[in-house]
Amino acid sequence: MAGSDQDRFRPGFGDGWDDDGDTQLLTERRQKTKKPSMYRVVMLNDDYTPMDFVVWVLQKIFHKGMEDATRIMLEVHHKGKSIVGVFTHDVARTKVQQVHSLAEQNEHPLQCVMEVEEGDDE
């Protein structure tokens, strides 16, 4: 399948396909070994959740230290949202559920969402 010098001048050379189809086999194998997607967990701002509750949630669910948790909370407060971490699908979903259940138990409207990381399919 490796091209000789003469191959370069054949019609269709370099278009990603060759006569015996082995380029296609390589493509299929790449798809089967694709890495699982990763998901960002993004914390969203609202006008009612107390700042210290958000800091506590970031420490409890995302294992942030006080300084990091405070920095993330303030970024959400000022910019509307902030990425808290990037996780596999199941871990991200569990963390989103844990945040929502703590928020609900404490009657705060705190929301966070998960978003797929783009450009991570190599």
Question: What is the number of the residue whose Cβ is closest to ligand TYC?
Answer: 76
Q: Establish if 76 lies at the interface with ligand TYC (CB under 6 A).
A: yes
> With respect to ligand TYC, which residue has the nearer C-beta, 18 or 59?
59
Q: Establish if 65 lies at the interface with ligand TYC (CB under 6 A).
A: no
DSSP-derived 3-state class of residue 66 = helix
Minimum CB separation from ligand TYC for residue 101, in Å? 16
What number of other Cβ atoms are within 10 A of residue 42's Cβ? 19
Within residues 23-52, the interface with ligand TYC by CB under 6 A covers 43-47, 49-51
Spatial contact of 94 and 53, defined as CB atoms under 8 Å apart: no
Q: Establish if 73 lies at the interface with ligand TYC (CB under 6 A).
A: yes
Q: Establish if 69 lies at the interface with ligand TYC (CB under 6 A).
A: no
Rounded-to-integer distance, Cα 104 and Cα 40, Å: 22
* Token reading at 95: 């963390």
Minimum CB separation from ligand TYC for residue 58, in Å? 9
- Measure the N-to-C terminal CA separation of the chain; round to a whole number of Å: 23
